[in-house]
Amino acid sequence: MKRFLQWVGSLLCALLVVAAYAQNPQLFDTGAASTPDAQAVPAAAATSTSAIQMIDFNRNLVPAELDDDYRTTYEIFVSSFCDSDGDGTGDLNGIRSKLDYISELGFDQIWLTPVHPSATYHKYDVDDYCAIDPSFGTMGDYEALLADCHGRGIRVLLDLVLNHTSDTHPWFVAASDYLRTLPADKDPVFEECPYVWYYTFSREQYDGFVPLEGTSWYYEARFWSEMPDLNLGNDVVRNEVRDIVRFWLDKGVDGFRLDAVTSYVTEDTAANAEFLRYLADTCRSIDPDCYLVGEAWTDQSSISALYGSGIDSLFEFPFAGPDGVISQVMSGRAPASDYVRAMMGAEAAYAGANPAYVGAPFYTNHDTARSASYYPQDGGPVTKMAYALSLLMPGDSFVYYGEELGMEGSGKDENKRAPMYWSSDAGAEGMCSGPAGIDGPQHKFASLEDQRSDDLSLWRWFAEVIRVRRAFPAIARGKTEMVEGLSDADVAAFFRRSASDGDVLVVMNLRDHAAERDLSQAAGGFELSAVLGTSEERITYENGRLSLPAYSIAVLTQNQSFID
């Protein structure tokens, strides 16, 4: 009987060991711990309740305490984000109520689309550069938002639209009224109405010019007849610009997102760079820490030329949108290695024009289709990986609100600016009505309230990718170097080299099947320090061999100083 009881006890112990292995196999992974180039899973995994490897593995990663321009930025289309007063329009106090949410995801900077008075829902036709649109709140609300953001370590960028004003701006109204009273045979006189020189008027209708009603004059309006172009070569206008930026910098704004910088002077890159140089010098003379990022919807060559102005950042348009580098790679139209080559090419081109530049990667914004629409058959993994490619590029990374939920929206502009999907209940607190004329939307992924409880949700993925991005400073601040022997059609592998922050090796499997790579030659001594996975399958690193499930990412470093 005694021997039988001993046998039963041994059997029970064996069963307990099997159960423990099934729950936490990494505790028994002696191979990984026995080799110098492998990293055992952090001890926090032993007490985890999640079946998702990245939740446990990355648990103890903490953001580096660095106060510079290499941020992770959340773009907010104000009228569609969060409504605090029940009128259906997003507002400044709504944003204030969601700052904990923004911080929780890991963002440390926000860019607000224009907040100035305007008759349109998008506000890119400004009536008053030094005021707040009443539908968004008051100047006091804006000041309170700034204070709340700064209290959380979040910087705030103001969207500054200088290419044009609205046609109801007092400057344009004064100029138009004057020209309507001017005799046909008389030229305008500056002393009688200097505002005529704020814009570009002509008695001939050139390309991009539209008629001024009630006169024989025409004015330049490249985007829309109700958006007359400013004459930014005029010193009087530049003085107005100086006063505008001083007003907002004195309020505590941390910098500006500059709208349409390639259109300041039509088809004249050199003139646009000259104005950007003036603007950068002016802003820094007021606040040396002022950060500027410009919208340059153009090719790499033109972006490089604009960097010669000394501007801090220009958006990485060649990587973005449905036809950019990221989408081409993730849809299989280009090999994974092209992603790395494109990063290296951009870094070399931009650093050659401005060695102090800070990249500004993004994947979508308020003018592009939502990323979930790029991959109609995708259930989540491709959409997740595509945004990770953007977030793991160097520089100040930008994310459009709602992308962390996989919101839908394409076609006309209104559809791209749908209400933030806080809840599937359109009447829930904070929900906005969205722009008039919006179609739908019909979202294929769940709302925030449903995604929060899912460890494999898009929302969780964004939080984990940003956690990794911020924990390893070299990811945002280092220089990209391809690992030729590891990168191919399926896998993108690169070092992010940084003399001050240490080197990081990132290996990405961008396809729907597993991949294995031998890192012993390229990365001897590197340890597995973070993992990002889109499924319950595990990344393993043993004896120098890295195994990556479909759509997964491994981050390796030479030490563990990033883990608390």
Strand 218-220 and strand 201-202: pairing? antiparallel
Residues facing 338 on adjacent strands? none
Question: What crossing angle do the helices spanning 381-391 and 458-471 adopt, rounded to 10°?
Answer: 20
Q: What CATH topology corresponds to 29-60+479-557?
A: Immunoglobulin-like (2.60.40)
CA–CA distance, 372 with 380 (Å, rounded to integer): 8
34 in helix, strand or coil? Answer: helix
| pLDDT given at position 257 | 98
| pLDDT given at position 35 | 29
- 337: tokens are 């290695």
pLDDT in tens, the chain (564 residues): 333 333 334 434 344 333 443 444 433 333 333 222 333 333 333 334 688 999 999 999 999 989 999 999 999 999 999 999 999 999 999 999 999 999 999 999 999 999 999 999 999 999 999 999 999 999 999 999 999 999 999 999 999 999 999 999 999 999 999 999 999 889 999 999 999 999 999 999 999 999 999 999 999 999 999 999 999 999 999 999 999 999 999 999 999 999 999 999 999 999 999 999 999 999 999 999 999 999 999 999 999 999 999 999 999 999 999 999 999 999 999 999 999 999 999 999 999 999 999 999 999 999 999 999 999 999 999 999 999 999 999 999 999 999 999 999 999 999 999 999 999 999 999 999 999 999 988 899 999 999 999 999 999 999 999 999 999 999 999 999 999 999 999 999 999 999 999 999 999 999 999 999 999 999 888 999 999 999 999 999 999 999 999 999 999 998 654 444
CATH superfamily of 72-163+234-468: Glycosidases (3.20.20.80)
Task: List, by residue range, all CATH 2.60.40.1180 domains of the chain.
Answer: 29-60+479-557
| pLDDT given at position 442 | 86
**Known catalytic residues?**
259, 295
Task: Identify which of 489, 491, 492, 509 has the alpha carbon closest to the alpha carbon of residue 552.
Answer: 509
Strands of the sheet containing 479-482, edge to edge, are 479-482, 491-497, 504-509, 552-557, 527-533
Task: Identify which of 515, 553, 513 has the alpha carbon closest to the alpha carbon of residue 534.
Answer: 553
Residue 170: φ, ψ to 5°: -55, -30
Residues facing 218 on adjacent strands? 202, 211
Task: Identify which of 90, 205, 203 has the alpha carbon closest to the alpha carbon of residue 141.
Answer: 90
CB 452 within 8 A of CB 404: no
185 in helix, strand or coil? Answer: coil
| pLDDT given at position 74 | 98
Task: List, by residue range, all CATH 3.20.20.80 domains of the chain.
Answer: 72-163+234-468
